[in-house]
Amino acid sequence: MQGVIQATMDFVKQYWAPLVCSLAIVAILPLVAGYIVLVERKIMADMQARLGPMRVGPHGLLQPIADAVKLLIKEDIIPDEADKLVFWLAPVLSVAAALLAMAGLAIGPAFQIAKDINIGILFVVGVSALGIFGIVLGGWASNSHYSLIGALRSSAQLVSYETAAGMALVCGLLFAGSLNITSIVQAQYDQGIWFGLLAPVAFFTYLVASIAETNRAPFDLPEAESELVAGYMTEFSGFRWSLYFLAEYTNMIVVASVATTLFLGGWLRPFPRTTWLNFLDFLPPLAMIGVAAYCFMRTPKQPARVQQMFMLAVAGLCLAVALVLAAPLVVPAVKPFHDGILGAFWFILKVSLYIYFFMWLRFTLPRYRFDQLMRLGWHFLIPLSIINVLVIGIAMIVGQYFNLTGGALLLTTIPASIIALIVALFILASEQKSEPQKASAAPDSYA
């Protein structure tokens, strides 16, 4: 008995931080995902000359909570012909994979659940890819043709684009020399330049592939609402549906975090070792003060008293965050702790911009057709990413030979990237020549 208690105490002592972090992820992430949806709807509304959600709370700010409540109390419908067990399991699998992938990520040096696992990136990529089982099984279990087609599309899409994404990640890993997330960021600090700048083609490839992997427009074929009603989610409703939704948005955060870690310097500020850019460290508190001031100025213009109170509250919150961010200027003792918070600021900013880019594309571009998507993947992105790994590797060896580090590496990697692009475009052009318009015209066998 004593031994068990002792063992439990030891366990808690050793793992209290990851436990708290994982609880926070499971408890807070649904809320974050809900607010990402709200932000997406607001951005979409802004681009489409309308207001978006305005009814629930000031400027619709409580909309995600209202939606969540609505989804939770909805009737739980399972189609008669569905495979009940798989139907039940599929969304859970999807969301579990997405949440599990979050465990390997680090928002700052201090905020990580699975601390310093040496296969960090590999773990995240591998586990998040497991989410596809939820989609395929869900589509299969619903026993609906739309769902089935959506599921098939999704699996084909993931297989194609995971290759390109993986190859793109390899480029970043070549520079880092490690799969460990902390080491990757540290390597970018040592080089003084983000890997995204050293290997722009790899970053671009990963960007496109990650959109396809998370089933976002213009690659949202598995759930293409105008073709397949809702694709694999067609037969799902209520809470199960919201689990899929949570998985999708969590996956967005995951791919954005991976891209940020590997290509955008993780929690480092832009050009972390360029001293004349040191003023950027003051940017976060200043930005928060700016937002607070804006809210404060807008307060008298709000028509209702509730809205005024709300604006004041937001201003206060921003000021508080600014104070936390600016604390070490006053109290130097908290500096180490503060670096973590500053890092988290940069990390979240980069992830937000990455996700914003996803949204921007979604509202701007039409949807690819399935065969076009496959052609883009297999005929362009995969050759491009493979060639890119090759030429970046050569560029690194050349760089080592001439003892180039940091920004000077650009001298070799930029020409290498250009070569990779040209070769890939050449391959694309020659393939288009060899099979003229096969997809757009009806094949003869059906004529």
Partner 1 sequence: MANDTITDLGEKQKTLLGADELILNMGPQHPSTHGVLRVKLKLDGERVIGSECMIGYLHRGVEKIAEHRTYQQFAPYVDRMDYVAAVSNGLGYCEAIEKLLMVEAPPRARVIRTILTELQRIASHLLWLGTHALDIGALTPLFYCFREREEILKIFEKYCGARLTTHAFRIGGLQYEAYDTLEKDVERFCKAFDSRTKDYEELLTQNRIWLGRTKGIGILKAEDAIAIGATGPVLRASGVKWDIRKAMPYAAYDQYKFEIPVGTTGDTYDRYLVRMEEMRQSRLICLQAIENIPSGPIMAKVGKVLKPPPGEVYHAIEAPKGELGYYVISDGTVQPYRVRIRPPSFVNLQAFDQMARGHLVADVVAIIGTLDIVLGEVDR
Looking at residue 376, the DSSP 8-state letter turns out to be I
Applying CB under 8 A, among 227, 281, 339, 431 the residue interacting with partner 1 is 227
CB 250 within 8 Å of CB 99: yes
From the CB of 50, what's the least distance to partner 1, in Å? 6
Applying CB under 8 A, among 98, 209, 221, 391 the residue interacting with partner 1 is 221
Pick the stretch among 29-37, 218-226, 248-256, 328-336 that binds partner 1 (CB under 8 A).
218-226
Applying CB under 8 A, among 192, 363, 410, 423 the residue interacting with partner 1 is 363
What is the contact mask toward partner 1 in residues 165 to 204, using x (rule: CB under 8 A)? ----------------------------------------
SS3 112: strand
Could you say whether residue 80 binds partner 1 (CB under 8 A)? Answer: no
Applying CB under 8 A, among 8, 278, 364, 405 the residue interacting with partner 1 is 364
Determine if residue 403 is left, alpha or beta; phi over 0 gives left, psi from -120 to 50 gives alpha, anything else beta.
Answer: left
Cα–Cα dist 207/361, whole Å: 12
From the CB of 440, what's the least distance to partner 1, in Å? 4
Query: Tokens 């921003």 — which residue?
Result: 318
Alpha helix ranges (H) inside 48-144: 63-72, 84-103, 120-129, 131-141
Structure tokens at 322: 């600014």
Alpha helix ranges (H) inside 299-381: 305-330, 335-364, 370-375
| Beta carbons within 10 angstroms of residue 273's beta carbon | 15
Pick the stretch among 11-19, 29-37, 66-74, 435-443 that binds partner 1 (CB under 8 A).
435-443
Task: Please list every residue from 93 through 152 that binds partner 1, using CB under 8 A.
Answer: 145-146, 149
Applying CB under 8 A, among 226, 275, 403, 434 the residue interacting with partner 1 is 226
Could you say whether residue 367 binds partner 1 (CB under 8 A)? Answer: yes
Cα–Cα dist 282/129, whole Å: 38
Could you say whether residue 281 binds partner 1 (CB under 8 A)? Answer: no
From the CB of 224, what's the least distance to partner 1, in Å? 7
Could you say whether residue 371 binds partner 1 (CB under 8 A)? Answer: yes
Query: Tokens 């990237």 — which residue?
Result: 417
Q: Distance of CA 97 to CAs 156, 164, 182, 395, 407, Å?
A: 19, 21, 22, 36, 37
Comparing C-alpha atoms, which of 48, 233, 63 is closest to residue 154?
233
Applying CB under 8 A, among 3, 4, 5, 50 the residue interacting with partner 1 is 50
Residue closer to partner 1, measured from CB, 38 or 395? 38
From the CB of 439, what's the least distance to partner 1, in Å? 8
Could you say whether residue 441 binds partner 1 (CB under 8 A)? Answer: yes
What is the contact mask toward partner 1 in residues 290 to 319, using x (rule: CB under 8 A)? ------------------------------
Structure tokens at 52: 């978006």
End-to-end Cα spacing for the chain = 78
Pick the stretch among 259-267, 308-316, 381-389, 436-444 that binds partner 1 (CB under 8 A).
436-444
Determine the size of the site formed for partner 1 (CB under 8 A).
Answer: 37
Q: Distance of CA 306 to CAs 39, 217, 319, 330, Å?
A: 21, 37, 20, 35
Residue closer to partner 1, measured from CB, 337 or 360? 360
Residue closer to partner 1, measured from CB, 303 or 443? 443
Applying CB under 8 A, among 300, 332, 436, 443 the residue interacting with partner 1 is 443
Structure tokens at 410: 């650009």
Per the DSSP assignment, residues forming a β-bridge with 106 are 112
DSSP assignment of 395-437 = HHHHHHHTT--GGGGHHHHHHHHHHHHHHHHHHHHHHHHHSTT
From the CB of 429, what's the least distance to partner 1, in Å? 14
Could you say whether residue 436 binds partner 1 (CB under 8 A)? Answer: no
Query: Which residues of the shown chain bind partner 1 in the complex (CB under 8 A)?
Result: 44, 47-50, 145-146, 149, 217-218, 220-221, 224-229, 362-372, 437, 440-443, 445-447
